[in-house]
Structure 1
C-alpha cells in the first residue's frame, strides 16, 4: 500500500489549519491603547522607594518614549497613546516654561490625545491656550463651554474619531467637574460646566448614529469614583481611560461591560490595554492590560528625547540647583494626619504673615524633602503652585467650622500652625472636633483671629467655604517664596510631630 495518500492528507490538513488560522486572525483586529495621566511636569527620572529599589530611578520621558516606540513597532498602525490631563503643573523645569517643555516632550513621544485637567488651568487661559497651540496631538474637552461666547476652550475638540482598519473609534474628553479643585487663575466661573452624565448622553448618540462609531472611549479627568458612577448611568461606554485621583489600577477593572483603567501619577507607569475586536460584530471580544513600571535600569533611553531634556536642564539647572537651606531630618507629607512637612509649611506662612494661625491644605504639598541641602528644584516639587499667601480675619466660630470640615474626609486635612486640635475621627461628620487651642488658649468663638492661608483656600477651594467669610484680606507674597524665606532664615531645619492634630479615634 502506498504511503503517498497518507502523507498528502497530512500536508493538506496542515495547510487547512494554517489557512484557517489566517482567516480567523483576519476576522479580528488587535488594538493597543497606551496611557499616562497626572504627570504634573515630571519630565526627568526620579527616586521612589515604594515603587523601585532605593538605588533605582523611575519615570522620565526618554524611557517612556522607548517603551512607546517599541509598542508601535510591534503593532504598527494599531497603537493609540493617550494622556488623562494635569500635564504640566508640578516641577521647576515644567513650571518655568509654563508647560511648553512638557508639550515638546509629548510631541516627540508621539501622543495622540489628551484631555484638559484641572491643574492645566493653573496659569490661566492664555498660558493653557499657548500649550494647546504648540501640541501636535489633539486636546479634548466636551463639557466646558465659555459663558461669554458659548464656545469650547480654544484649540480643543469635544470628541475625535480614529479609524483602525475596519474599526471606527469615537473618543470623548471629559474635563474635571469639581470646581473646588481649580486654582484662582483658572477663572473657572467663566465656564459652564456640564456633568459627565449629561455630556456623554448627548455625544455618544452623535458618535454612534451620525459618525457610525463602533467603539466609544471616554478620556476622563473626573476621577475613579466618578468614572464608576458613569458606567451605571450612561450606556454605550466601552472604555474609560481615567485620571485625577492618581489611582494605580494594575489590571483593568470591568464594570458591567465597561473597561476602566488609570495609571497612577508622575510617569511612574505606562498603562497598556490590549483589546481584540471582532470585525463582523465590531465588539470587544477579549482584553488584557497591565501597568508597565518605567524602571530606568531595564530600558534604553531614547536619544532624541534625551536631547530635548538636556536642552531644558542646561537652561534651568543653575537656578534649580540653588541651595536655599538644609534639613537634618526627612520632611514627610501625609494627607490625613499631622506631618513634619505640613508643620513646617504651616509655620512658614504663619511666621511670614505675622499672624495668629497658619492653615494650609495637605493636598497642596506634593513631595517629601530628604535629609540634606534643600534646592530650589525641591521646593518647586514640594509646592509647585503659584498660590498667593493671604492673611485675613476670621472669627473663632468660622475657624471651628473650617477645622471641623478638615476632618470630614472629603479632602485631605488642613495642616496647622498656632493651633492644637483634639478630634475623634470615629464620630459622625461635623461632630469630630473635641477641642481647639490657639497659642495654648481655648478658641474663643466670638474673637477675631488673624489667619494666614493660600488664596486657593481663601476663595473656597477644596470646598472650604468658611474661608470666604474672612475680612480684611491682604496679599503677602507667593507661598513658595514664604517657604524659601523660612528655609533661608531657619536652616538647618528639623521636622517634628508636636501633637498639633491629636486623634483619639481610629487612625486612617
Structure 2
C-alpha cells in the first residue's frame, strides 16, 4: 500500500511540474520600414506582373479627347466648369439608357462637389484622366421624386455653400442664400409632378447629408458607373471646353 501511495504522489508531482504557466501579452513593439528604391526587386515577381502593367498603362494612357483649358473644382463659387461638364456628361450618357428602359427622360442631375477628385489639365484627355477625376466605383441611380421633395433638394443646395454639380436645374439665390428662382428644364417646379433625378449611389444613401432622396416614388439602378459615363462622353467629343454659366448663381 505504501508503495502505491508513493506512485500516486510521484504522479501528482510530475503532473503539477509539467503544467505550463499562463502567458500574458505585456508589450507590442513595431518599427516603420520605408519603401524606397533601395529595396531589392524580386525579379521573378517583376517578370510575372510586367505584361499586366504594360497592358494597363497602354489602356490608361490611350487618348480619348482634348481639353481646351485647365479646369478645377475651385474655379467657381456656385458652379464650376468641371462640375458642369461632369453633370452634363452624366445626363448625356445616362438619359438614353434610362429612356430605353423606361420610356421616360431624366429631368435633372445632381452630383457632389467632393466627388471631383482631380483636375482636367489642358491637353490630351486619357482614360487615366477619368480614373483620376472619379476614382470611386460610384454608379448612376435615377430617383423618382415628387416636386415637394425637389424643394428640399433646392433648399439643400441654397444652403450648402458649395458648387455641387447640377444639370437641367437652374437655381438663383439672394445674398442671404434664400431661393429666388428654381427651374427644371426652364419650368417652375410642380409640387405634384414626379421628377426623375439622376445621382450616384453614395448620395442616394445619404452621403454629404443629402437625405432628401428618401422616401421616393421609385428607384432605378442603371448599373452604369459615373467614371464609365465620363469615358464614354470623352470618346464622343473631339475637344471639351466647359464653362461656368448661370445654372446656379447668387443675385446681389
TM range (shorter): 0.7 to 0.9
How far apart are residue 426 of structure 1 and its match? 2.9
Structure 2: distance between partners of 1:315 and 1:305: 25
Is the 8 Å Cα contact of residues 330 and 495 (structure 1) preserved in structure 2?
Answer: no
Does residue 330 in structure 1 map to residue 70 in structure 2?
yes
Name the Cα RMSD after superposition. Answer: 2.7
How far apart are residue 414 of structure 1 and its match? 2.1
Secondary structure of the structure 2 residue equivalent to 1:324: strand
Out of 111, 114, 118, which is 1:363 matched to?
114
Secondary structure of the structure 2 residue equivalent to 1:373: strand
How far apart are residue 450 of structure 1 and its match? 1.1
Structure 2: distance between partners of 1:373 and 1:306: 35
Change beyond 3 A, Cα 1:487–1:464: same
What is the CA deviation profile of residues 373-426 of structure 1, one whole-angstrom value per residue up to 9, with x for unaligned ones?
1111111111111011011211222112112112324x7442110011001353
How many pairs were matched up?
A: 205
Given the two structures, how large is their TM-score scaled by the length of structure 1? Answer: 0.37
Out of 157, 172, 175, which is 1:422 matched to?
172
Secondary structure of the structure 2 residue equivalent to 1:414: coil
Is the 8 Å Cα contact of residues 357 and 416 (structure 1) preserved in structure 2?
Answer: yes
Structure 2: distance between partners of 1:369 and 1:408: 27
> What residue in structure 2 maps to residue 493 of structure 1?
240
Does residue 342 in structure 1 map to residue 59 in structure 2?
no
Out of 474, 478, 481, which is 2:225 matched to?
478
Structure 1: distance between partners of 2:83 and 2:133: 11
Is the 8 Å Cα contact of residues 338 and 500 (structure 1) preserved in structure 2?
Answer: yes
How far apart are residue 80 of structure 1 and its match? 7.2
Q: Using CA pairs below 8 Å that are at least 6 residues apart, which structure has the higher relative contact order? A: 2
Q: For 1:280-299, what aligned pairs fall within 5 Å after superposition?
A: none
How far apart are residue 345 of structure 1 and its match? 0.7
Q: Which runs of 5+ in 1 are unaligned?
A: 1-78, 82-106, 110-301
Structure 2: distance between partners of 1:305 and 1:408: 51
How far apart are residue 315 of structure 1 and its match? 5.9
Secondary structure of the structure 1 residue equivalent to 2:69: coil
Does residue 436 in structure 1 map to residue 182 in structure 2?
yes
Is the 8 Å Cα contact of residues 343 and 417 (structure 1) preserved in structure 2?
Answer: yes
> What residue in structure 1 maps to residue 56 of structure 2?
316
Largest Rg, 1 or 2:
2
Instruction: Give the number of the structure whose residues are more often strand, by fraction.
Output: 1
Is the 8 Å Cα contact of residues 80 and 163 (structure 2) preserved in structure 1?
Answer: no
> What residue in structure 2 maps to residue 398 of structure 1?
149
Is the 8 Å Cα contact of residues 363 and 412 (structure 1) preserved in structure 2?
Answer: no
What is the CA deviation profile of residues 256-291 of structure 1, one whole-angstrom value per residue up to 9, with x for unaligned ones?
xxxxxxxxxxxxxxxxxxxxxxxxxxxxxxxxxxxx
Given the two structures, how large is their TM-score scaled by the length of structure 2? Answer: 0.72
Out of 133, 139, 158, which is 1:382 matched to?
133
How far apart are residue 356 of structure 1 and its match? 1.3
How far apart are residue 305 of structure 1 and its match? 6.1
Where has structure 1 moved over 3 Å in runs of 4 or more?
A: 304-315
Out of 181, 191, 205, which is 1:445 matched to?
191
